[in-house]
Structure 1
Amino acid sequence: MALEKPYLDVPGTVIFDADQSRKGYWLNQFCMSLMKAENRARFKADERAYLDEWAMTEEQRQAVMARDLNWCIRTGGNIYFLAKIGATDGKSFQQMAGSMTGMSEDAYRAMMVAGGRSVEGNRFMHEAVGAPAASTGAGAGREVV
């Protein structure tokens, strides 16, 4: 029996649950490897060769090479592990978060200092005009474009 997942109805949100954890296991293990200086050096010297050492999907490898953190999250990455990629590239967590929102670091900081994004119009996908009712069964998650 599939677990109910009402959080799949939240637009623009991927919850790191057990399913995401299983999906992203090797991606997240790769990220953790970047805690060692010698692994960071190997990754920076030849990203593709280093990524090929991990049992990640090709999509996960492409997401890492593109430095598209939203894509990494959709493929099972956890932001706290993905932060190791940003640190390897010399990026702050704030810079990374800004890139995920399409904002500059300064604009992102200002938004967060002002209280963050408004929840108005962002509560549930099923409330969007013309949106189909959300399914909460396993695998029901979908991205809002």
Structure 2
Amino acid sequence: MSTDIHEYLAELEDIPGTRVYTAARARRGYWMNQFAMSLMTAENRERFKADERAYLDAWPLTEEQKQALLDRDYNRCLDLGGNIYFLAKLFSTDGLSFLQAVGTMTGMRPEEYQAMMVAGGRSPQGVRSIREKR
């Protein structure tokens, strides 16, 4: 393991299918996560559902973050600093369970995702490095 913190953190980006929630990612997604937390109140959920774009425009989000939220592209939201536990407020607002939303992130039907997780999760076999394709 490298002793340089930047090299070490860069290694975390090499894990296939995983987005490690680092301090840099948290800083990048601060306002996205604040938006998601705002959905904890019924009044804000109703305002958001009435005009999603206008509601998002009231937050200091990047255009890329707004589009990822509008598209409900949860993987992209994670890439842009979203935290899954905060984003849960968004898919809950849409009437989705955690299982349904996370299943969409894997390309699996919720039943398939649930069965995989009950069976112990993803196999440790296969690609372990994006860069090295091994």
Instruction: Indicate conservation of the 8 Å contact 1:23/1:75, yes or no.
Output: yes
Q: In the alignment, which residue of structure 2 is the partner of 1:14?
A: 19
- Please state how far the C-alpha of 1:69 moved relative to its aligned partner: 0.3
Dislocated runs of 4+, deviation >4 Å = none
Aligned: 1:49 with 2:54:
yes
Q: Size of the alignment, in residue pairs?
A: 129
Q: In the alignment, which residue of structure 2 is the partner of 1:102?
A: 107
TM-score w.r.t. length of structure 1:
0.84
Aligned: 1:36 with 2:36:
no
Q: In the alignment, which residue of structure 1 is the partner of 2:128?
A: 123
- Please state how far the C-alpha of 1:115 moved relative to its aligned partner: 1.2
Structure 2: distance between partners of 1:85 and 1:24: 14
- Please state how far the C-alpha of 1:116 moved relative to its aligned partner: 1.0
Q: In the alignment, which residue of structure 2 is the partner of 1:89?
A: 94
Structure 1 unaligned blocks of 5 or more: 130-145
Structure scoring higher RCO (CA < 8 A, sep ≥ 6) equals: 1
Instruction: Indicate conservation of the 8 Å contact 1:121/1:128, yes or no.
Output: no
Structure 2: distance between partners of 1:70 and 1:112: 18
Identity of aligned residues (%): 58
Amino acid at match of 1:63: A
Task: Please provide the CA RMSD for this pair.
Answer: 1.4
Aligned: 1:77 with 2:48:
no
Q: In the alignment, which residue of structure 2 is the partner of 1:134?
A: none
TM-score w.r.t. length of structure 2:
0.91
Amino acid at match of 1:11: P
- Please state how far the C-alpha of 1:127 moved relative to its aligned partner: 3.6
